[in-house]
Structure 1
């Protein structure tokens, strides 16, 4: 589960990682009681990135401007997600911006420290400058200093950045995190460092071992349990095809093919790419399950097109989740010429038809498990798109 920025910074503050004075804003009028002196920055609290590029981060000089900016941000969709809360934070003048992160490398099964002198919104442009240090034995200050040196830091910055990395690692281990990221770590003209933005991903399988995290979410959000972090993006108001993919590129390509075939997507969900540093197999499965629950309850959805490339999560486990969303097997009653009988359970169950294309390990097992629920497993994307569009058009007639 991902935490929002203001939740992550609450953990940063408790661990002694330097953060700015801030205040949670639930409605624009809360800014009348702002205790942080102006100027301040208002930040949309959403799980998706790219806030700064689309207007989700704004600097304001007074209360009138702050209220107007907050109203705009609350009504700004970022990849289909609207913020329920904003973070008001003191302005910080940074001479430099670094990138720091700790993640779990599932290939070597060890934590990896990441760092770069190029941070902020353009960090992806400087990926070739990213330094990494694998924590091969029991963690010590040596690993943090080694990362600082590989980043090319000198003088007092070695000590100040190493100190932050050590505290990040403590937080990482104590809370069974999949990812902890500070981007950017601001450096002032005097050499002081400040965590200007932060991201934390908690391992889904370890959540029950950390009731203090759930208590933190409850206290900050006023909810009894963590909320879903999936973001289903609406498309055509008269569409009939819901699309589920993993990875932004695969999602966009699938939507383009649906349009080219004469179909109309009603919505899409990117459940997360395996190439992301914060990827969790449990998270992918949870996102798929929640996405299917939502899409199959939408009466306007005639077809759910699932296109996944899954290696870390075996295809048979993905198939189990898909089959569970359909329910019990139903006799094949398809009369649609040229369409596989897979997915025509919709008429009998009032469920959307399912068109599934999976690529990855254990595809043979996945095929047999889906077949038991009258769902065909396709390995050709063009064929899957053609079938999805045909089913959607048949549902309209």
Structure 2
């Protein structure tokens, strides 16, 4: 379960991690010190690029700014809450996170002095990654390593690392990320953002006051079209026929050091109905992926339905599309797709993987779930 930033910050407060003074839009204190930063609360990244984080210079601008933001969408997510925070004057932006590494099945501590940008875009030499034994937790030598890597005094960074670990452990999280972690000129560290994903299987006792979730996210819109969609944070959308094939394809894409933006299992209705297939592709395009990989095998349906939808909605588009299809009318479908320079069609999975490695954008690196 992803938390909104303001929920993550509430958790941070509980664990004594410093944050700026902040309020939900309908609770802004009369004593608030302007300028404030108005931040749209959505369960996806890319807020800055979408113009969903705005400076409010004085109280007179407050209402207008909030109204504008509440009418926005970020990557297909409707903004239903706005959080306002006092502006922090900082000297440096750092990055600190603990994330479950799916391959190692264990937590990893990640630190970088390149905070404030998408971690997927940070070059590997600027990232420090330390695997953590979940039974022993974070050790002093790890903190010293991070302090040396970030060129900071050990005690300040150690304190915040222990606190992040306490959030991660105490709240049964899959990800606790502070990006940016602001460092003020006096060396004080303040969490500029809070990205927290909690394990959905855990029974929640400690944190009852979650904000209402906006309906109509990507998952919900897919299910209306008869498909199953799961949104992640990477670059490439994987669309398959059948959940087993989906997971296998997902692992394959990750093994090529690519990250997945969403996973879609087509389901019966979509593969027989061109209009539904086109609508589904429209939903996928709202996620702004860097590429799409279709991997389907139809026993009964014709490949032509999907191929027609792919051609009409993605042909000649700005990003590469790899289509690996087997089934009825696969040859005609491949011919139809071959006229578009951004669509690569093949029957062979190995070839598809090679094309993905070569053509599909996105940095390799740690996968955010």
The bucket for the TM-score relative to the shorter chain is: 0.5 to 0.7
1:163 aligns with 2:185: no
Say if 2:19 and 2:190, in contact at 8 Å, map to a contact too.
yes
Q: 1:13 to 1:61 in 2, by over 3 A?
A: same
Which of 183, 192, 198 is the equivalent residue of 1:202? 198
Name the count of aligned residue pairs: 295
Which SS does the other structure have where 2:190 is aligned? Answer: strand
Which SS does the other structure have where 2:117 is aligned? Answer: helix
1:101 aligns with 2:97: yes
1:134 aligns with 2:131: yes
Higher strand share: 2
User: Which aligned pairs between 1:69-84 and structure 2 lie closer than 5 A?
Assistant: 69-84=65-80
Deviation at 1:173, TM superposition (A): 1.5
Q: Give TM-score scaled by structure 1 length.
A: 0.59
Say if 1:133 and 1:146, in contact at 8 Å, map to a contact too.
no
Work out the CA distance in 2 between the residues paired with 1:342 and 1:299.
Answer: 5
Structure-1 residue corresponding to 2:25:
25
Q: 1:274 to 1:42 in 2, by over 3 A?
A: farther
Q: Give TM-score scaled by structure 2 length.
A: 0.63
Work out the CA distance in 1 between the residues paired with 2:11 and 2:329.
Answer: 44
Which SS does the other structure have where 1:107 is aligned? Answer: coil
Say if 1:13 and 1:19, in contact at 8 Å, map to a contact too.
yes
Which of 171, 177, 183 is the equivalent residue of 1:181? 177
Instruction: Decide which moves more: 111-120 or 136-145.
Output: 136-145
Structure-2 residue corresponding to 1:346:
none
1:212 aligns with 2:200: no
User: Which aligned pairs between 1:283-298 and structure 2 lie closer than 5 A?
Assistant: 288=264
Higher helix share: 1
Q: Which is bigger in relative contact order (C-alpha 8 A, separation at least 6)?
A: 2
Work out the CA distance in 1 between the residues paired with 2:329 and 2:198.
Answer: 32
1:301 aligns with 2:276: yes
Rg larger in 1 or in 2?
Answer: 1
Q: 1:110 to 1:122 in 2, by over 3 A?
A: closer
Q: Deviations over 1:77-112 (max 9, x none)?
A: 211222100001111101011100001122222211
Which SS does the other structure have where 1:53 is aligned? Answer: coil
Deviation at 1:154, TM superposition (A): 3.3
Work out the CA distance in 2 between the residues paired with 1:34 and 1:232.
Answer: 38
Say if 1:98 and 1:185, in contact at 8 Å, map to a contact too.
yes
Say if 1:358 and 1:378, in contact at 8 Å, map to a contact too.
no
Deviation at 1:246, TM superposition (A): 7.6
Deviation at 1:114, TM superposition (A): 0.4
Structure-1 residue corresponding to 2:346:
none
Say if 1:44 and 1:87, in contact at 8 Å, map to a contact too.
yes
Q: Deviations over 1:31-54 (max 9, x none)?
A: 5x6542222110011122121223
Say if 2:237 and 2:292, in contact at 8 Å, map to a contact too.
no
Q: CA RMSD in A?
A: 4.8
User: Which aligned pairs between 1:1-397 and structure 2 lie closer than 5 A?
Assistant: 1-25=1-25, 34-121=30-117, 123=119, 124-136=121-133, 138-155=136-153, 158-204=154-200, 206-207=201-202, 209-213=203-207, 215-217=208-210, 220-221=211-212, 230=218, 249-251=235-237, 288=264, 301=276, 304=280, 339-340=302-303, 382=334
Say if 1:98 and 1:186, in contact at 8 Å, map to a contact too.
yes
Instruction: Decide which moves more: 142-151 or 299-308.
Output: 299-308
Deviation at 1:229, TM superposition (A): 5.1
Deviation at 1:203, TM superposition (A): 2.2
Q: 1:47 to 1:380 in 2, by over 3 A?
A: farther
Deviation at 1:232, TM superposition (A): 7.9
Return 5+ residue gaps in structure 1 as ranges: 235-239, 255-270, 324-328, 344-356, 368-374, 387-397
Return 5+ residue gaps in structure 2 as ranges: 240-249, 285-290, 307-321, 339-369
Which SS does the other structure have where 2:209 is aligned? Answer: helix
